[in-house]
Amino acid sequence: MRAIVLESHGGPEVLTVKEVPDPAPAPEEVLVDVAATAVNRADLLQRMGLYPEPGPPADHEIPGLEFAGRVAVTGSRVTEWHPGDVVMGVVTGGAYAERLVIHERQVMAVPDVVGLPDAGGVPEVFITAYDALVLQGGLTLGGWALVHAGGSGVGTAAIQICKALGAQVVVTCSTSKVAACEALGADVVVDYGSQDFVARVGEATGGREWTWCSTSSAVTTLPATSRPARWEAASCRWASWGAARRRCPSASFCHAGCR
């Protein structure tokens, strides 16, 4: 099969298309013909040598954290899937290839309303955002959420999830991404270069409790000495996701999106 292989680290020029052996599924794994994948921040960091894939070094370093495709072969003990099933999922690497193997419990069916190839960009960001907002943050109908990095992949997914839940959302982003966040339905968009998000959240919510969600890069938005007082003043419940657990200021901040 063909795959994008990293034989060195650096800029985009190190991405090399090579022929590599097809992976073989273990008894509880499925072999998937990959129809689509996506580019995530972790892939860029891995390409630069800053985010190695966990575990023993593989024969070929193939990036890619999410995929969508069709089941080609099932392992001898697989019971949930059959050849031809359209699935998507998150992996620790290897999605930048024509085929990959994954445990049957790590894949999910692609909804008909999504389909291929769009499903290739769904699992990593939407599952991460849902986990942080709903499972960790407890966001429900009528609630408020603050999403840092609203123009990022997870941020744009978070905006859409908030609106689907019937919640209100405040996002922070750079000037160039304000219009995109507004178009996705963000109720309040804060240009972090010129505005104070804590003040804007207070104005929008009237001091009610809100759920704070952040990418790992935005965990450091507030100086460590000022975080508790600022969050308490804003009546904040928080959850976060991170591109790399070991790069976060505190591992306890990262509940999803980490390898």
pLDDT digits (tens, 9 = 90+) for 201-228: 888 877 666 655 555 433 333 333 334 4
Query: Bridge partners of 188?
Result: 170
23 and 72 assigned to the same domain: yes
Please check whether residues 147 and 239 belong to one and the same domain. yes
Instruction: Supply the pLDDT for residue 221.
Output: 33
With b for 16 or more beta-carbon neighbours within 10 A and e for fewer, the 179-213 pattern comes to ebbbebebbbbbbbeeeebbebbbebbeeeebbbb
Domain boundary residue, one of 119, 138, 159? 119
Mean local confidence (pLDDT), 165-192: 96
| Cα 241 from Cα 136, distance rounded (Å) | 10
Instruction: Report pLDDT for 185.
Output: 97
> How far apart are alpha carbons 95 and 49 in whole angstroms?
18
Domain limits for position 68: 2-119
Q: Is residue 199 part of a domain?
A: yes
CATH of the domain at 158: 3.40.50.720
Instruction: State whether 94 and 208 are in the same domain.
Output: no
Q: Which of 52, 126, 61, 54 is nearest to 88 (CA)?
A: 126
Residue 14 inside a domain? The answer is: yes
- The residue type found at 48 is M
Number of domains forming the structure of the chain: 2
pLDDT of residue 235: 43
Instruction: Name the domain boundary from 80, 96, 119.
Output: 119
Residues 129 and 249 in one domain: yes
Same domain, 110 and 187: no
**Locus of tokens 């999910």:** 108
Cα separation, 187 vs 101, in Å, equals 41
Residues 91, 136 within the same domain: no
CA atoms within 13 A on the CB side of 209: 8
Q: Which two tokens stand for residue 135?
A: 């499972």
Residue 151 has pLDDT above 70, yes or no: yes
User: Which CB contacts under 8 angstroms, 24+ apart, belong to 177-183?
Assistant: 177/150, 177/151, 180/151, 180/156, 181/150, 181/151, 181/155, 181/156
